[in-house]
Amino acid sequence: MPTLKEELLQRDVEAFFEARADLMAGVSDLTDEALSQALLRFVQALRASGETISDERFKALLAEYAATLRIQHKAARDLDATRYNGLIVRSACRSGLVTDLTEGAVGEMRAGAVRDLASQIDKALTAAFEVPGE
């Protein structure tokens, strides 16, 4: 079983969340730029259709379209439990919280072992935020 550092310091926690952010960068995210481009395409398609609508109806359609885009991108970003556990373990490997397992080896582990290790990592991160004596 891979070894998790016994005590996580601030630098360890920061490194973990930085590695996690790096790994999440490949997952769909709705940036302001992406939303602006999608809304621009919506307006262009509406104009191209030649349909005329009131300002109120246009605002309502625009708001509905933006909400739909946000929901679609959130769904693309949400990870199922198995992929989330893999993300946690890979982040811990990349950041050095797990000392004898490589990030690339995580995919070759049994899913139950990844789940158990992710749970240990979660407990260690939670303990890192506890203040002694409180």
- Single out the residue of 115, 90, 92, 112 nearest to residue 103, CA to CA: 90
Between 51 and 94, the higher pLDDT residue: 94
CB atoms under 10 Å from CB of 107, counted, come to 10
Instruction: Kindly report, residue by residue over 2-53, the tens digit of the pLDDT.
Output: 888 888 877 888 888 888 877 776 555 556 676 677 777 777 777 777 777 7
Q: How far apart are CA 71 and CA 114, in angstroms?
A: 29
- Single out the residue of 35, 10, 5, 31 nearest to residue 99, CA to CA: 5
Q: How far apart are CA 29 and CA 78, in angstroms?
A: 10
What's the pTM?
0.58
